[in-house]
Structures are given as structure tokens and as C-alpha cells.
Amino acid sequence: MMILSILATVVLLGALFYHRVSLFISSLILLAWTAVLGVAGLWSAWVLVPLAIILIPFNFAPMRKSMISAPVFRGFRKVMPPMSRTEKEAIDAGTTWWEGDLFQGKPDWKKLHNYPQPRLTTEEQAFLDGPVEEACRMANDFQITHELADLPPELWAYLKEHRFFAMIIKKEYGGLEFLGLCPVSRAAKTLRRERDPGDYRRRAELIRPGRAAATLRH
């Protein structure tokens, strides 16, 4: 019976986790379950004492922060590498989209389908039909890969002239200030035509916004 009671407790814990029952209600259920087992003589009633000692700090935010969260964070700071400036800028750049719901375990698919379909602006479409198309025409995959191992100078100059590396940079810093759909469409278009130019252009996304803006001024 002891083994069965332990298995039943594990199943109960699994059900509480699966249904995302609140911490307070879960604590009450565990205490009541332990009391029932104690009355039935399967467990000692004294088990309630250490269980209550464990659950009380978790249910009171000030105690949880000072006794649990703070020591855990201090331990992580000692073993984790410091955050770089680029990572800090990426984190501060925005918030989560629908993927936040996805990682919470309860994605709202209707919410995803209700998002309006992104569309290119007139300026972005003109950029794809003009400079991007011309850059694809100028690129030669065999020359880039086997002869030069680089883009030809005239293509580099063309990309810089038309600000290919500053598509998401604000106009006040010398960029084009396009939305995210245009860089993705440009990458897909160049990769369908020539592989290597697409690789070079996507590397601009790895440059910090400040550094990219400074590069445009030179």
C-alpha cells in the first residue's frame, strides 16, 4: 500500500502540473492529500510538518524572493557568462510576438490566424523590383565562388550605394527603414537566383545597429 500511495502522489503531482493549477491551490491539495493518507494510516501525519515548511515560502512572494529566487540567481550569475552588449541590445529591442504564447504551452491558433497578412509597401516593392533585381543580374555564382571567392568590387559598390546593408536602419541614420518583411523577401529572392550574394547580405543582420549606421557614413 505504501508503494501505491507514492505512485498515486506522483500521479496527483503530474495532474497538477499538466493542468497548470495555481501554486496556492496545488499546495492546499497536497496538504489535504497528505492529511488523508495520514488519517488512513498509510503515511505518518508528521509528514505534514516538513511539507508545510517547504510550501509556505513558495506561496509568499517576499519569502520566495529572499529565500529561494535570490540565492538561485546569485548561483546562476557565478556560472553563466556575462551578457554582451549585442545580446543586451537584442533583448531590449522589442517584446515577444505570438511565439510567447507558443512557449507558454497554450498557443492560441485563432489569434495567430487573425493577425493581418503582412504586405510590402510601395517603396519596398520598388526596391525588390529595382535594386534587388539588378543586384541579382550583376551576381555570378561561379565567379563569386570559384574565381574571386568574394563579390566583385562593382557589386560591393552597388550594394553599398543602394544601402542593402541598412534595410532596417532608420532613415535618420542613413538607412532605408524597411519593415521585417522586405529583408526576408530580399533574402529569399537572392537565394533563389544566386546563393553567395544572399549569404553576404544576410550578414548585415549580425551587425549592431549602431555599428551598421557608422559603417554607412564611411
**pLDDT on residue 192:** 61
Per-residue pLDDT reduced to its tens digit, 178-203 = 887 777 677 766 666 655 554 555 44
pTM for the model: 0.47
Can you give the residue ranges of every domain in the chain?
2-80, 122-216
Q: What is the pLDDT of residue 218?
A: 41
> Quick one: average pLDDT of 18-44?
91
Residue 212 has pLDDT above 60, yes or no: no
Neighbours of 157 (CB within 10 A): 11
131-151 as b/e: b if 16+ CB within 10 A:
bbeebbeebbeebbeeeeeeb
Average pLDDT value for the chain? 82
What pLDDT is stored for residue 208 in this prediction? 42
Give the Å distances, CA to CA, from 73 to 67, 68, 80.
11, 9, 10
Q: What is the mean pLDDT of residues 99-127?
A: 86
According to CATH, the superfamily of the domain at 122-216 is: Acyl-CoA dehydrogenase/oxidase, N-terminal domain (1.10.540.10)
CB 135, CB 164: distance < 8 Å? yes
